[in-house]
Amino acid sequence: MGILLNKDSRIMVQGITGKEGSFHATTGMEYGTNVVSGVTPGKGGQTFNETVPIFNTVSEAKEATNPNVSLIFVPPAFAPDAICEAASNEIPLIICITEGIPVNDMVGTIRYVQSKPVRLIGPNCPGAINPTDHCKVGIMPGAIHKPGRVGVVSRSGTLTYEAVHQLTILDIGQSSCVGIGGDPIIGTNYVDILNLYEEDPDTDIIVFIGEIGGTMEQEAAEHIKHHITKPVCSLIVGATAPAGKRMGHAGAIITGSTATAASKVAALKDAGCHIIPTPADIGDVVAKVLANN
């Protein structure tokens, strides 16, 4: 099983002919992902990698190939339009990788998405992967993953890979891994993903990686305390970041006492999470918790 993606996932790639889109569509297909169509306005009728039909509109791609996941690589100025196009066609899962979408554009886009029966992951995220079903929808390196029973959720890309790598070298596999994105406004938050892992029969334990900025980690902690029964191992990065400086992610900026790492770790501790003391200890903490259960 795993969450969000499985062997029945049919992927449509919006922006499939661009540099990023074509590269990651290809690596996804090499990993075993079922890419059924691509969308690039003006390139309809062409074929990607000699197998994947390209359409001018999502509507045509949906009609012809019946996708249930959209993966978006469209540049920031046009990404909100691409998200709305996928939502308008009620593609149930929309994963937007694009980094650098203006926040004011996302304010309206997010409300449109919420008015449709769809889920948006991202933007500015690495995507999601289900190693068991060989379904990779995003930019993560597939080879570091291993099928297993740990669910990973994080805001970030390479830090998620770090977590996965630490697990895999200890022979601990993953049921799914999801990066929800580093922007201030994103479609799916930690609580949504935690709920999916809680309900997933193939996930035994959750690795939850947060960072400075905002209060999303505190809300997740409150939710874990009352609604998540599976063990959660949690790490917060940015403990040593200075206040008022944006640490790469648009959302990662300390703007008050609640946005600090210390405040988030305290909330997670209070929620009964197994605290991962440093980013180097992800694998070890999970191994210990697994050994004790």
Residue 16 near residue 39 (C-beta atoms within 8 A): yes
State yes or no: residue 209 binds other proteins (CB under 8 A): yes
User: What does the alpha-carbon distance between residue 283 and residue 273 come to, in Å, rounded to a whole number?
Assistant: 15
Q: Which CB atom, from 68 or from 215, has the smaller least distance to other proteins?
A: 215
Q: Which of 24, 145, 223, 249 is catalytic?
A: 249
The angle subtended at Cα 61 by Cα 76 and Cα 119, nearest 5°, is 55
Q: Which two tokens stand for residue 193?
A: 């993903």
**Binding flags for other proteins, 106-125, as an x/- string (CB under 8 A):** xxx-xx--------------
> Which of 49, 199, 227, 246 lies at the binding interface for other proteins (CB under 8 A)?
246
CB of 209 to other proteins, least distance (A): 7
> Which of 51, 256, 292, 293 lies at the binding interface for other proteins (CB under 8 A)?
256
Residue 267 near residue 222 (C-beta atoms within 8 A): yes
Q: Tell which residue, 220, 195, 208, has the closest CA to residue 3.
A: 195
Q: Which CB atom, from 32 or from 100, has the smaller least distance to other proteins?
A: 100
Terminal CA-CA length for the chain: 22
CB of 37 to other proteins, least distance (A): 23
Residue with tokens 């690495």: 126
Residue with tokens 């191992």: 233
Q: Which CB atom, from 205 or from 216, has the smaller least distance to other proteins?
A: 216
User: What does the alpha-carbon distance between residue 41 and residue 60 come to, in Å, rounded to a whole number?
Assistant: 11
User: What does the alpha-carbon distance between residue 38 and residue 46 come to, in Å, rounded to a whole number?
Assistant: 10
**Binding flags for other proteins, 132-171, as an x/- string (CB under 8 A):** -------xxx--x---------xxxxxxxxx--xx-----
Which span (5-13, 40-48, 53-61, 207-215) binds other proteins, by CB under 8 A?
A: 207-215
Q: How far is CA 202 from CA 24, 108, 206, 208, in A?
A: 27, 36, 11, 17
Q: Which two tokens stand for residue 160?
A: 């998620």
> Which of 279, 287, 289, 290 lies at the binding interface for other proteins (CB under 8 A)?
279
State yes or no: residue 217 binds other proteins (CB under 8 A): no
Residue 228 near residue 284 (C-beta atoms within 8 A): no
Q: Which CB atom, from 117 or from 256, has the smaller least distance to other proteins?
A: 256
Residue 249 bears catalytic tag: yes
Contacts with other proteins in 58-87 (CB under 8 A)?
76-77
Residue type, 168: T
Residues engaged in binding other proteins (CB under 8 A): 20, 23, 76-77, 100-104, 106-108, 110-111, 139-141, 144, 154-162, 165-166, 182, 184-185, 209, 211-212, 214-216, 237-242, 244-252, 256-257, 277-281
Active-site amino acid positions: 249
